Amino acid sequence: MRHRIRSLFLLPAVVAATCLWSGVRAQEPTGGGSLVRDITGGAALIFRAPKNPVVEAIAGGQIPSGGGKSKGKRTPKPPVRKQDQAIARANAARSAPKPRYAEAEQQYQLAAQIAPDDARAFAGLGNVYVDQGKFPEAVNAYKQALKVKPDYQAAYLPLAFSLARMNRFPEAIEVYQQTIKADPSNPEVYNNLSFAYNHTERYQEAVDASVQAIKLLGETGEAYTQGFQERNEIRSYAYKNLGNAYNGMKRYDEAANALKKAAEIEPTNASAHFNLGLTLYNAGRYSEAIESYKTVLKLRPELAQARFNLALSYFAINDRKAAQAEYEALNRTNPELAKKLQPMIK
């Protein structure tokens, strides 16, 4: 199962200028106007759905149905603790083809009541909340798991992800840093740490974390074997985070190089081309920004944000005829966003 931010948690179709892209400070073309700074999927945060907690004393997570025989005698059933039974039932409900989250939540809570010192029940409860996007509840559950067992590694990554989804980036950074101590060779952790650094304007640290993620992924063909994402997918995300960090430092040429690499790795990823357009615009490379936004619209013709930014880029080079055409096309699909262009068109 693969999960990533752009597919799991879909944002609204039009994103305000203060949203996820934290590294860009867009210039304004002649006549005013501000770029829309991100689109759905532009944020490069990797997420792997957490695995169910292991059920101890039950092989494969299944409750045994009976004993066996040894030397002609029936072997007694292995002891099964009540909390293991509840956790096994919760795991089964969560993993069903059509997950039964209410049942899973009930069973994990039962396990926690039976054994309040068992971190697995709280971590499993956190998993159910993450699956449903209930991040405040997930944070509380994972923190309880770590309170019970501070070295319970399975809680770290989903806790950090939940904190990041709540924009609690300093806390997420702290958890990712703890994760690195236990898992120093996981590029996913460095990638997500870079994302959090970008959102706290710690850009040099974001650069360092992205570079480390890229290094671990390998430029010579080493396979990424950590889990659910494809290697190229994470490489593209790492380069996007690197580009975001360079943007925050106003090192636009380096940012453009990183984002071009992200787009090369995933050429059909509209968000990589969109972010590249932002960078090129910031660098004053308006004609190149225009080409990036054209690419975005080839991939996602309905994307109003890209058409808006394309119009602004045309205004920046004083091509009013082309800007007018983009305004008219935008006005047919998104009149509210098109209104922001009217002062420049008159």
Per-residue pLDDT of 112-160, as tens digits, reads 999 999 999 999 999 999 999 999 999 999 999 999 999 999 999 999 9
Number of domains in the chain: 2
**Are 124 and 264 members of one domain?**
no
Distance CA 15, CA 36 (A): 7
Residue 150 lies in a domain: yes
Structure tokens at 273: 């081309």
**Are 182 and 117 members of one domain?**
no
Mean pLDDT, rounded, for 184-203: 91
On the question of pLDDT at 62 being above 80, the answer is no
The domain of 7 spans 1-46+169-285
Residue 211 lies in a domain: yes
**Are 24 and 162 members of one domain?**
no
**Are 6 and 95 members of one domain?**
no
Structure tokens at 320: 């009013």
DSSP state of 222: P
**Are 134 and 226 members of one domain?**
no
**Are 191 and 264 members of one domain?**
yes
Residue 127 lies in a domain: yes
Handedness of CA 203, 209, 214, 215 (dihedral sign): positive
**Are 269 and 224 members of one domain?**
yes
Please report which confidence band the pLDDT of residue 20 belongs to, taking 50, 70 and 90 as the band edges.
very low
pTM comes to 0.78
Show which of 231, 253, 285 is a domain's final residue: 285
- Pick the range with the lowest mean pLDDT from 26-35, 237-246, 299-308, 320-329: 26-35
**Are 161 and 182 members of one domain?**
no
Structure tokens at 10: 């879909």
User: φ and ψ at 4, to 5 degrees?
Assistant: -145, 160
In the prediction, which pLDDT does 162 show? 95
On the question of pLDDT at 32 being above 60, the answer is no
Structure tokens at 205: 């640290």
In the prediction, which pLDDT does 122 show? 97
251: left (phi over 0), alpha (psi -120 to 50) or beta: beta
Listed residue (293, 196, 283, 284) closest to 245, CA to CA: 196
**Are 86 and 174 members of one domain?**
no
Please report which confidence band the pLDDT of residue 232 belongs to, taking 50, 70 and 90 as the band edges.
confident
Residue 139 lies in a domain: yes
Residue 298 lies in a domain: no
**Are 190 and 127 members of one domain?**
no
In the prediction, which pLDDT does 71 show? 52
Residue 13 lies in a domain: yes
Q: Apex CA 97: angle with CA 91 and CA 101, to 5°? A: 50
Question: Is 120 in contact with 54 (CB distance < 8 Å)?
Answer: yes
DSSP class per residue in 48-95: -PPPPPP-TTSGGG-------EETTEEPPPPP--HHHHHHHHHHHHHT
Show which of 166, 192, 218 is a domain's final residue: 166
Show which of 285, 310, 336 is a domain's final residue: 285
The CATH number that applies at residue 249 is: 1.25.40.10
**Are 186 and 278 members of one domain?**
yes
Residue 333 lies in a domain: no
Among 9-23, 55-69, 104-118, the range with the most confident prediction by mean pLDDT is: 104-118
H/E stretch holding 3: strand 3-4
**Are 142 and 275 members of one domain?**
no
Structure tokens at 274: 């969109």
Residue 38 lies in a domain: yes
Pairing state between β 46-47 and 69-70 = unpaired
